[in-house]
Amino acid sequence: MSGFLERRFRLRERGTSVGIEVLAGLTTFATLSYILFVQPAVLSSPGCGMDPGGVLFATCVASALACFLMAWWADYPIALAPGMGHNFLFAFTLCGAMGWSWRQALAANLIAGVAFLGLARFGLRERVMNALPQGLAHGIAAGIGLLIAFIGLQWGGLVRAQPATLVQLGELSSPVALHTLGGLAIAVVLLARGVRGALLFAIVASALGGWLASRVFALATPLVEFNGVVGPPPDPRGTAFQLDFAGLFARPWTEWLPIVAIFLCLVLFDTIGTLVGVAGKAGLMVDGKLPRAERALAADAAGTTLGALLGTSTVTSYVESAAGVTAGGRTGLTAIVVGVLFLCALVFAPLIHSIGAGVDVDGALRYPVIAPVLIVVGFLMVAELRHVRWDDPVESFPAFLCTVVMQLSLSITEGVAFGFLASSILSLATGRARETSPIVHAFALLFAARYVWLV
């Protein structure tokens, strides 16, 4: 077996070995495995209502298959899983704010995945990638990060609704808020100390702490209840192949077409950024370009398509793969190890559901174990704003408006729409229309038509 792996992945030629690649795969999985706990919680939350067992099955299987495709087609040490931000667009914007069913959202996601596969296949990625102004791209990422952090603050009981000011500080003396603050402190300290797998260790520590606190203080509503560690894999039938194209296309095209476009843009820019960043760290770039980029993009697109069919949101390349690269991963064998671990995680479904379960607080679900992870992930994503040229209002104001509108409307779609409209209007008004792609102006018109239709 080792001889086959040596020949297939040219391990010695790349300065690595089976042992190093396995260690790199373990490291990558440790850094991104928090998605196993977060994804079922997000997609089963009120307003979306998917079956958490089906979501977990889809997450593990789609991620594993996408990792295997990345390894076999592109031979890169890059892992794939449902993307943070994409899941919030799916659950809170489409199913929550816009009232879509999750089956319709899956159908839109599948269309975006197939379109992405076509772009990768026919080499049109550069045209689409270069269409979006860089400032707006960074603003979208940061806005999603802030939205994720805000949801984390809500889920952790650190903020709550207030009619006069819309939001105010939560009841910090409550068990849920105290538990969230403790988990957040652990996560940030581990992250600051450079511990690999900091978020996973924070989840485990928070879950154990919540379980002990519930018993020591005899809480009426336990923070964490363990219902087993291993068991049979979850039943996929609750979400697999449940797409509703008829319901999607029954909606006005001005509603569903922009959503498909947003899904496509988000996965495209996430993937390009991750591939270039991780490959650069691994020394895989050649003359500033990424060899076999089209194959890597095809693997990413196939992951999204498989994920939608099985019942989860966009599957995309994970920047946490850089942790495995730091540990020595240089080939697709690293991705294969991650994929195998995703499949192994299926038998730990009872433990994953126990840790990710919500706590009923006055009729509302709170997730004190998951909330700290959302806050930290949001913090990491907001760092994208450092790349915006703030001295140029044509670039910076659309990024600012996109970020702010996302929070105040609690909608990724509305933030993106305002960003596109601002970018188009400013470039036209300042005589810099040629600096902005016609694709941006076209989407701006599409969003404008949607708002006119809504009025």
pLDDT score for 10: 84
Q: How confident is the model at residue 288 (pLDDT cuts 50, 70, 90)?
A: low
- Residues 265 and 70 sit within 8 Å (Cβ to Cβ): no
pLDDT in tens, 61-89: 999 999 999 999 989 999 999 988 889 88
Cα-based distances in Å from 298 to 74, 113, 277, 302: 9, 10, 18, 6
Domain total in the chain: 1
Q: What average pLDDT score do residues 442-448 get?
A: 84
Instruction: Provide the 3-class DSSP secondary structure of residue 166.
Output: strand
pLDDT for residue 286 is more than 80: no
Give 126: exposed, middle or buried? Use CB within 10 Å, 0-12, 13-18, 19+. exposed
pLDDT for residue 315 is more than 90: yes
Query: Which pTM value belongs to this model?
Result: 0.80
Q: What are phi and psi of 305, to 5 degrees?
A: -65, -45
**Cα angle at 136 between 131 and 139, to 5 degrees?**
150
pLDDT for residue 284 is more than 80: no
pLDDT score for 189: 95
Q: What average pLDDT score do residues 366-381 get?
A: 87
pLDDT in tens, 195-206: 877 888 888 899
Q: What average pLDDT score do residues 308-328 get?
A: 87
Which contiguous run of DSSP H or E holds residue 171?
none
Cα-based distances in Å from 186 to 65, 175, 215, 382: 33, 17, 21, 20
Bigger pLDDT: 225 vs 410: 225
Give 73: exposed, middle or buried? Use CB within 10 Å, 0-12, 13-18, 19+. middle
- Residues 334 and 324 sit within 8 Å (Cβ to Cβ): yes
pLDDT in tens, 121-164: 666 655 665 566 778 878 888 888 888 889 889 989 999 888 88
Q: What average pLDDT score do residues 273-296 get?
A: 74
Which contiguous run of DSSP H or E holds residue 80?
strand 80-82
Q: What is the distance between the alpha carbons of residues 324 and 346, in angstroms, rounded to a whole number?
A: 22
Q: What is the distance between the alpha carbons of residues 100 and 314, in angstroms, rounded to a whole number?
A: 17
Which amino acid is present at 336?
A: I
In the block, which residue shows the tokens 């939608």? 308
pLDDT in tens, 24-46: 898 888 878 889 988 999 999 88
Q: What is the distance between the alpha carbons of residues 49 and 277, in angstroms, rounded to a whole number?
A: 35
Boundaries of domain holding 309: 2-454
pLDDT for residue 339 is more than 90: yes
Instruction: Provide the 3-class DSSP secondary structure of residue 11.
Output: coil
Instruction: Provide the 3-class DSSP secondary structure of residue 82.
Output: strand
pLDDT in tens, 168-183: 998 899 999 999 999 9
Residue 435, CB-side half-sphere exposure with 13 Å CA sphere: 15
- Residues 201 and 195 sit within 8 Å (Cβ to Cβ): yes
CB atoms within 10 A of CB 266: 23
Q: What is the distance between the alpha carbons of residues 406 and 142, in angstroms, rounded to a whole number?
A: 10
- Sign for the CA dihedral angle at 276, 202, 28, 342 comes to negative
Q: What share of the chain is helix, strand, coil (3-state, %, to 5)?
A: 70, 5, 25
- Sign for the CA dihedral angle at 407, 413, 418, 419 comes to positive
Q: What is the DSSP letter of 219?
A: -
Q: What average pLDDT score do residues 254-266 get?
A: 85
pLDDT score for 2: 65
pLDDT score for 298: 87
Instruction: Provide the 3-class DSSP secondary structure of residue 286.
Output: strand
Least confident of 295-299, 337-341, 421-425: 295-299
Bigger pLDDT: 160 vs 271: 160
pLDDT score for 129: 56
> DSSP letters along 111-142, please?
HHHHHHHHHHHHT-HHHHHTTS-HHHHHHHHH
Beta-strand (E) ranges in 260-366? 315-317, 359-361, 364-366
Closest by Cα among 166, 83, 151 to 371: 151
Which amino acid is present at 406?
A: M
Q: Which residues pair with 167 in a beta bridge?
A: 161
Q: What is the distance between the alpha carbons of residues 114 and 306, in angstroms, rounded to a whole number?
A: 10
Q: Which residues pair with 365 in a beta bridge?
A: 360
pLDDT for residue 418 is more than 70: yes
- Residues 437 and 409 sit within 8 Å (Cβ to Cβ): no
